[in-house]
Amino acid sequence: MITRRDLITTAGLASASLLGGARLQAQAPAKAAAAAAAAREFGFEGVYLDAAFVHPISRQVRDCGAAYFRDRFTQPHAISPFSNPRNGAVEQFARLINCAPQDVAVVPSTLVAENLVNAALQTGRGAGVVTDALHYDASLVLYAERRRQGTPLKVVQVRDNRVDLADIRDALTPETRLVALSLVSSATGFVHNLAEVCNVAHQAGALVYADIIQAAGAIPVDVAASGVDFAACGTYKWLMADFGAAFLYVRRDRLERLRRTEIGWRQIRGLTQHISPFDPVVADAGEYELRNDAVGLFEVGTPAWGALATAQASIGSINEMGVEPIARQREPLLSELRARLSGNAGFVALTPQDSHGPILVFGVKDAQMRFRDRLLANRVQVSLYPNSVRISPSIYNSREDIEQLIRVLSL
């Protein structure tokens, strides 16, 4: 298991490695050992710099997933509505983003969460949405379709590789009900100042939804400090777990503004049965009470307990390591990449210099055509697009990985 000490050591040595000279030579063995210790927790081969696409799972997470399925195989009642990893995973996620567990619902995916929020807020005619061009691309399609159905929509455009807060302010109108954004843009790595966006939106009477799938686990996220109203995150990226589950945070004092749109067993607090002749006589639907918290509004049916078993383990490890040491370990790797690739062979940095997220994106003409085969041949994995390259290192990466990527891209 990777420890906080390992991450702090790696972060400090990675920063020092950029200084060069005798100090670098003296610290190189320790730095290499710390990076190797992190890399041994993962089973992939080659150089993997693509955590923003899908994060590898560690040996510990693999073992937790295997234990879950072993229990499912050997003990049919070991996993059930009364005994499952759901609450443990939610508690770890709530700790990660600084909220109470009762303010988190489990949903199938981040985009399902965004759809549910729109439905509960009843965005539509007279209840509009402001988003920006760096929001997740499928989310932009979601809002384009809602606009076809009558939802007023404004999409704030990009200026100088960023979304300007003043442009968001100018886009708000009295009919704006929701501001929707990606805290860290998967397209360019731009990072919003979430607290400032929330302040501007709240002054205009709008609520804020943040997609934090490229942030939670990679950089510090504090939903209480930011004042964000809704935030959602799937588990397979920087939370380092498996596919099939996501968390939706709902600010508690916003619940009364939401409409329940779906009903399922997870929302029922109490139900009086009337099947047996010995049961009390009740109405046809029985006597029941619905929960009025985040679960009561958004968590409908049985969640993906297998995915949550891996998430409980992985997010627990992230909390143990600390997100700040994780971010510090990665920062010098991205800084070196930016310094050495910017302007080289047509590489144009699209990630703003002051966006300290986990992603660095370069615009490069014909990037996919130019680099795909050589990256495959050298077993180096990044995200390639027709005219851009996205690089996203994580805790297992070292300066040597960055050197290898630069060599491949410079051939």
Given 270, 300, 318, the domain boundary residue is 318
**Rounded mean pLDDT of 73-100?**
95
Three-state DSSP state, 202? helix
The reply to whether 332 and 312 lie within a common domain is no
Same domain? For 106 and 46 the reply is no
Q: Mean pLDDT over residues 357-372, rounded?
A: 97
In a domain, 8, yes or no: no
Q: Is residue 63 part of a domain?
A: no
User: How far are the Cα atoms of 198, 269, 270, 273, 357 from residue 281, in angstroms, in the given order?
Assistant: 50, 20, 16, 9, 59
Note whether 337 and 209 are same-domain residues.
no
Based on the fold, state whether residues 172 and 252 are members of the same structural domain: yes
pLDDT in tens, 264-286: 989 988 777 777 777 777 666 66
Q: Pick from 111, 113, 145: which is nearest to 129 by CA?
A: 145
Q: Are residues 117 and 221 in the same domain?
A: yes
Q: Is the pLDDT of residue 16 over 70?
A: no
Range of the structural domain that residue 222 is part of: 84-318
Do 223 and 340 lie in one domain? The reply is no
Written as six digits, the tokens of 230 are 């809704």
6 or 20: whose pLDDT is higher? 6
pLDDT number for residue 29: 53
Q: Is the pLDDT of residue 10 over 50?
A: no
Question: pLDDT value at position 288?
Answer: 82
Report yes or no: 389 and 362 within 8 Å, Cβ to Cβ. yes
Instruction: Give percent of the chain above pLDDT 70.
Output: 90
Answer yes or no: is 74 within a domain: no
CATH number at residue 209: 3.40.640.10
Task: Of 272, 273, 267, give the one whose Cα is nearest residue 290.
Answer: 267
Q: What is the pLDDT of residues 392-402, one digit of tens each?
A: 999 999 999 99
pLDDT score, position 12: 43
**214 occurs within a structural domain:** yes
Confidence class for position 18, pLDDT limits 50, 70, 90: very low
Could you tell me if 390 and 257 lie in one domain?
Answer: no
Q: Give the 3-state secondary structure of residue 231.
A: strand
On whether both 254 and 370 belong to a single domain, the answer is no
Q: What is the mean pLDDT of residues 307-313?
A: 97
Shared-domain flag, residues 172 and 32: no
Q: Of 318, 344, 376, which residue constitutes the final position of a domain?
A: 318
Domain boundary among 269, 300, 318: 318
Among residues of the chain, what percentage have pLDDT more than 90?
Answer: 82
353 and 295 belong to one structural domain: no
Residue 229 — very low, low, confident or very high, per pLDDT cuts 50/70/90?
very high
User: Taking 50 as the threshold, does the pLDDT of residue 258 lie above it?
Assistant: yes
The CATH number of residue 346's host domain is 3.90.1150.10
Flag whether 213 is in a domain. Answer: yes
Mean pLDDT of 324-350: 93
Tell me the pLDDT tens digit for each residue of 156-211.
999 999 999 999 999 999 999 999 999 999 999 999 999 999 999 999 999 999 99
Total Cβ atoms within 10 A of residue 410: 11
- State the average pLDDT for the chain: 90
Rounded to whole angstroms, how far apart are CA atoms 358 and 352? 12
Run of H or E residues at 276: none
Do the domain assignments include residue 370? yes
**Could you give the angle at the alpha carbon of 13 between the alpha carbons of 330 and 334, nearest 5°?**
25
Q: Residue 26 — very low, low, confident or very high, per pLDDT cuts 50/70/90?
A: very low
The whole-number pLDDT of residue 38 equals 74
Domain-located, residue 111: yes
Query: d(Cα 134, Cα 118) in Å, to the nearest integer?
Result: 19
pLDDT at 403: 96
Split into its structural domains, the chain has a count of 2
Tokens at 236, concatenated: 């397979």
Q: What is the pLDDT of residue 37?
A: 72
Same domain, 103 and 208: yes
Task: Give domain status of residue 6, yes or no.
Answer: no
The pLDDT of residue 23 is above 80:
no
Residue 239 burial by CB count (10 A; 0-12/13-18/19+): exposed, middle or buried? buried
String of DSSP letters for 35-96? HHHHHTTB---SEE-BTTT-PPPBHHHHHHHHHHHHHHHH-TTTSBTTB-SHHHHHHHHHHH
